[in-house]
């Protein structure tokens, strides 16, 4: 364990909106960390939730000795994340989404890794499947397998985007490049900052710190998620077209990559349903492309 200090080592950043169903479990996993509580602060940015999210947050935080701050902003993820960066006093920022649960030693493992790896700007934990996975739908199971494969190999990674959830950022690295781009009101803010962090000479890693997420349970909700991701891409490509390898997105290339991964997916979970992953990919990519086209049409009109 780390020696007690008056200095905050870790800022836990949470951007949340209308998440009354999942936020308590996410917050409880943060509050139950085995990392010294006096070295942690929690900063939440609420996007003006209209359900019971804020009430649940306030109740949870009233029962902990961890320093916390609740702020409000509804101008998009880029600005919400940057508010946390501006307010953070920790050496590192751990990003926790409202539908995430981090293992008890998650922060400890992530901080140890960053302390021991001075060239690391960003490190993502290792995704694991929820304990109640047997109650998940086909949609959620396929999403679980996708993320399981994506983070299975520990060490330095050349992945184009890890996604902020489950990541620890070195505060110095983020501030050196000017932080998050506030113009990203939808998806893409994490892709943008990862590209700039890497371009500035920092490395990205995957660690053995475990976390899991509540995945989408219906095809409709999965469609909405990827449509939203696609809608955010034009802003990302306008800013820097090299931030993403467009070649990997072409259907034939991407489907071939999915087929190649099928044996690995089956060995991981031993479920025949994983052979539906190519269909699952086509479904998500169709939603993504329509989201992108919708954004393009909105811009041109």
**Any domain includes 246:** no
Across the strands, what pairs with 203?
A: 120
- When divided into structural domains, the chain yields a total of 1
**Any domain includes 191:** yes
Higher per-residue pLDDT: 250 or 270:
270
Q: Are the CB atoms for 234 and 292 separated by under 8 Å?
A: yes
Q: 126 lies in which domain range?
A: 10-216
**Any domain includes 290:** no
Statement: residue 241 has pLDDT above 90: no
Mean local confidence (pLDDT), 132-136: 65
Mean per-residue pLDDT over the chain, rounded: 89
Statement: residue 43 has pLDDT above 60: yes
pLDDT tens figures, 169-213: 999 999 999 999 998 888 889 999 999 999 999 999 999 999 999
Q: Which of 194-203, 253-262, 272-281 has the highest mean pLDDT?
A: 194-203
The whole-angstrom separation of Cα 232 and Cα 187 is 5
pLDDT classification of 4: cutoffs 50, 70, 90: very low
Across the strands, what pairs with 211?
A: 102, 127
Mean local confidence (pLDDT), 109-128: 97
**Any domain includes 110:** yes
Residue-wise DSSP of 193-206: HHHHHHHTT-EEEE
What's the CATH number where 36 sits?
A: 3.90.550.10
Residue 103's pLDDT is what?
96
Q: Are the CB atoms for 75 and 41 separated by under 8 Å?
A: no
Statement: residue 167 has pLDDT above 90: yes
Q: What is the pTM of this model?
A: 0.90
Across the strands, what pairs with 71?
A: 45
**Any domain includes 180:** yes
Name the H helices within 242-276.
251-269
pLDDT classification of 45: cutoffs 50, 70, 90: very high
**Any domain includes 226:** no
Statement: residue 141 has pLDDT above 80: yes
Residue 1's pLDDT is what?
34
Q: Are the CB atoms for 60 and 27 separated by under 8 Å?
A: yes
Looking up tokens 């050196």 gives 176
**Any domain includes 175:** yes
**Any domain includes 228:** no
The whole-angstrom separation of Cα 6 and Cα 269 is 44
């Amino acid at each position: 364990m780390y020696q007690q200090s008056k200095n905050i080592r870790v800022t836990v950043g949470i951007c949340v909106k209308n998440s009354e169903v999942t936020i308590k479990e996410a917050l409880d996993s943060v509050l139950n960390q085995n990392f010294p509580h006096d070295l942690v602060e929690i900063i939440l940015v609420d996007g003006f939730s209209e359900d019971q999210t804020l009430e649940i947050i306030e109740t949870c935080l009233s029962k902990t000795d961890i320093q916390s701050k609740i702020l409000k902003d509804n101008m998009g993820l880029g600005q919400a994340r940057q508010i946390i960066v501006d307010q953070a006093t920790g050496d590192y920022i751990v990003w926790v989404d409202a539908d995430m649960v981090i293992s008890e030693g998650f922060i400890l493992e992530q901080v140890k890794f960053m302390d021991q790896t001075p060239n690391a700007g960003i490190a993502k934990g290792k995704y694991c499947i929820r304990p109640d996975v047997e109650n998940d739908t086909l949609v959620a199971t396929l999403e679980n397998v996708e993320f399981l494969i994506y983070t299975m190999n520990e060490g330095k990674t050349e992945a184009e985007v890890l996604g902020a959830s489950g990541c620890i950022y070195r505060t110095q690295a983020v501030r050196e490049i000017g932080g998050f781009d506030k113009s990203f009101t939808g998806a893409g803010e994490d892709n943008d900052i990862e590209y700039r962090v890497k371009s500035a000479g920092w490395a990205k890693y995957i660690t053995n710190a475990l976390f899991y997420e509540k995945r989408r349970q219906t095809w409709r909700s999965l469609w909405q998620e990827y449509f939203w991701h696609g809608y955010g891409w034009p802003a990302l490509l306008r800013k820097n077209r090299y931030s993403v390898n467009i070649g990997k997105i072409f259907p034939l290339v991407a489907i071939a990559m999915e087929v190649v991964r099928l044996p690995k997916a089956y060995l991981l979970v031993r479920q025949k349903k994983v052979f539906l992953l190519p269909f699952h990919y086509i479904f998500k990519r169709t939603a993504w492309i329509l989201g992108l086209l919708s954004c393009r049409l909105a811009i041109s009109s």
